[in-house]
Structure 1
């Protein structure tokens, strides 16, 4: 007998990640479409359930209904679990199960973890995952305790505990879901707490820690011992600080005299409102100001912050701050006639520069094309359509009101956009293309005129 050889299907790490997110989204959509998840009569339509499951898994925060009012506790817990798994990564959660079962992590799984964590190599990635799980648990627990202590002053203790846990997980994972829609007569998100220093500070710390990534958090915790930060951490921390300060000043200046946002607030309220918006815009989706009442210049600036996004290895989206810094460095190097990009006395490798340019250009093209399509399917202002498009792709979760009015075609399109934004266009392209082969020859160099 002649044995037929069967080719074993081997998925690349990006393909495994894409498939894992798809399975997680589909499971979540089925659970949210159950009657037990909907607070009203009947159930959510499957498309609305699919949209919400995608938004939660991709830690975006966009919602086509009022989360706090329209979902039961079961539905809210489904969103909470999806946010936690989607924020930390399903491979990280799978590794946690393997730790509990005392199962060995294979080399293939280490490669997938490397891709999921945006780590530079497979070496030490399991140790990093252990740290990720510990740090996430401690930060979320601390945030939950702090928020519970504040909200226990205005609601029953049990509800305060529930709100503290839900919002701590949601804010730290940069998801942007909130339950304040369950209070009649109160605006959504954190608008009610625009002048509350405690809520503002806790929220900003959670957003900041969730946005800088676990590699940087690990570096910061070991800094007192080794007195050294990696180049990645130096770039992320310095760029994040600059963006927060610049963002705060720009929003403060643009909205200072706006009677619908900052003008009625006290000086401290103005400062906290502008600062939280600056911190949150790069992926968190938490806001204490009415975005739809902002001036168009401010709304466009918020779009820029959303497009830049958070740091690699975090739950945040966008092109990432490191990509933005490399692009700025490349521009300055070209203007100064320098050949290399140098950051903190370190030269940036050419492949990093090519990847930054490719990622940014693909992201820009995707956002532009998506906005053009949505402007056809949706009856809305173009600025509102563009804002929603950037928010979905950057998984920022901020909205000017379009999401609640989306057509079915618009919902499907934003579902795809949130999914691509969470994985990244480059990773998605790798997952859909066959394994690349090394080129056997190179063409002669040519020159074209630029500028």
Structure 2
């Protein structure tokens, strides 16, 4: 259901984007380019083969924005909201699909969570749109400032990374602007920590406690942002192509923005191609980890990385259990984290190898592009507009898999396992 649903939304969006009315010059957009853009929008990625701000008309941009909102919240969430509004009963099957779509452990309270998702989304996007609009009023007419404020608030909260600044500039003209930077980072982080965590934070004043999931997601998110900021700041401090011309405060702001953005947002305030290779590789790692479960972001997720990190620490200390915040993780959680990570790593490696045969570019640029697509990030070193037909198809597939999650897709296409009648005898192999 999830695979087919997302595919249908992408195809409908692609068809709308091919219409002449969607183009700024009134001509039809090639089908593959429209499909690429629709996939990128629905999978909240942000990679584009044509510039969103100059190629598409207002109608086309509204189509893209609608795909971003549907893709970010999930089509099942949107369908459930309509069903609830029409007072239609939600079946058990639909609740189970919602459970999978929102990465929940059970169906208990799933409809309440869907209502909260809508409420949090509207409140955060409206707040972001107001802040952006007030800032953009200094640079453009009022009507345009409102439109730009709404577009970028929805795009950034859904971690899509689409912008309409024009000429593939993203937010490079606002590299030292605290309002634009902090508003963008606020939207990206709130959209990336997950709706379950948002619900826990909203109810913290009443409950005075956070779930283990929220503690792990928040601690990993904060740690990755701080570590990423420090590393990027150190590596780029003297780079004349990026931070060299900025003052000390602007360098910190730029480093923080470039650390937050790879967490599946795809917004940049400096030229990504101008970064040093060490910085680009750090961003690849951050993109691969991604956001938290049940959010608008992609990647293997922060909790997956935390589980793996916890397993390594437990093994080094000679402990049998993985313990986080005084809670023991079930072994199947660790196995699932390992499966997701290896599956994702294999997909990224395979796609990069294929892309290295279809595209004539440096390996790091290809790895960066594939990881950005899989993590639904949207950052690029400038490769996306130059992709061949085969390259575009590979990136489309990676964006689709990255949004659904490799395990969800594998469950959908794999044969259903039969009943296990026996267990094999235990054997031993040498590890390390």
TM superposition score normalised by structure 2: 0.99
Q: Deviations over 1:253-292 (max 9, x none)?
A: 0000001111211111101100011011111001101100
Confirm or deny that 1:433 pairs with 2:414: yes
Among candidates 175, 184, 201, match of residue 160 of structure 2: 175
- Give the equivalent residue in structure 2 for 1:121: 106
The structural deviation recorded for 1:80 is 0.1
Among candidates 134, 144, 147, match of residue 149 of structure 1: 134
Among candidates 85, 94, 103, match of residue 100 of structure 1: 85
User: Hey, what's the Cα distance between the residues in 2 that align with 1:105 and 1:408?
Assistant: 42
Q: Deviations over 1:73-106 (max 9, x none)?
A: 0100000000000000000100111122111111
Number of positions where the alignment pairs a residue of Structure 1 with one of Structure 2? 432
Q: Deviations over 1:164-212 (max 9, x none)?
A: 0000000000000000007xxxx61001001001111111110000000
- Give the equivalent residue in structure 1 for 2:286: 305
Which stretch of structure 1 is more off in the superposition, 355-364 or 438-447? 438-447
Q: Deviations over 1:234-265 (max 9, x none)?
A: 00001111101000000000000001111211
- Give the equivalent residue in structure 2 for 1:406: 387
Secondary structure of residue in 2 paired with 1:52: helix
Q: Deviations over 1:371-405 (max 9, x none)?
A: 00000000111110110010001101000011000
Superposed structure 1 runs of 4+ greater than 2 Å apart: 434-438
Q: Deviations over 1:408-449 (max 9, x none)?
A: 011011111110111111110001123333311101111101
Secondary structure of residue in 2 paired with 1:422: helix
Confirm or deny that 1:376 pairs with 2:357: yes
User: Hey, what's the Cα distance between the residues in 1 that align with 2:363 and 2:304?
Assistant: 27
Which stretch of structure 1 is more off in the superposition, 103-112 or 247-256? 103-112
Secondary structure of residue in 2 paired with 1:180: coil
- Give the equivalent residue in structure 1 for 2:297: 316
The structural deviation recorded for 1:67 is 0.6
Question: For 1:188-227, what aligned pairs fall within 5 Å after superposition?
Answer: 188-227=169-208
Confirm or deny that 1:64 pairs with 2:45: no
- Give the equivalent residue in structure 2 for 1:84: 69
Q: Deviations over 1:143-166 (max 9, x none)?
A: 111111110111111100100000
Confirm or deny that 1:38 pairs with 2:23: yes
What 5-or-longer segments of structure 1 have no aligned partner? 1-15
User: Hey, what's the Cα distance between the residues in 1 that align with 2:44 and 2:213?
Assistant: 23
User: Hey, what's the Cα distance between the residues in 2 that align with 1:241 and 1:196?
Assistant: 22
- Give the equivalent residue in structure 2 for 1:290: 271
Secondary structure of residue in 2 paired with 1:331: helix
Among candidates 297, 306, 310, match of residue 325 of structure 1: 306
TM superposition score normalised by structure 1: 0.95
Secondary structure of residue in 2 paired with 1:181: coil
Q: Deviations over 1:18-77 (max 9, x none)?
A: 010000000000000011111135211000000000000000000001110010001000
- Give the equivalent residue in structure 1 for 2:339: 358
What 5-or-longer segments of structure 2 have no aligned partner? none
Among candidates 7, 22, 26, match of residue 7 of structure 2: 22
Secondary structure of residue in 2 paired with 1:138: helix
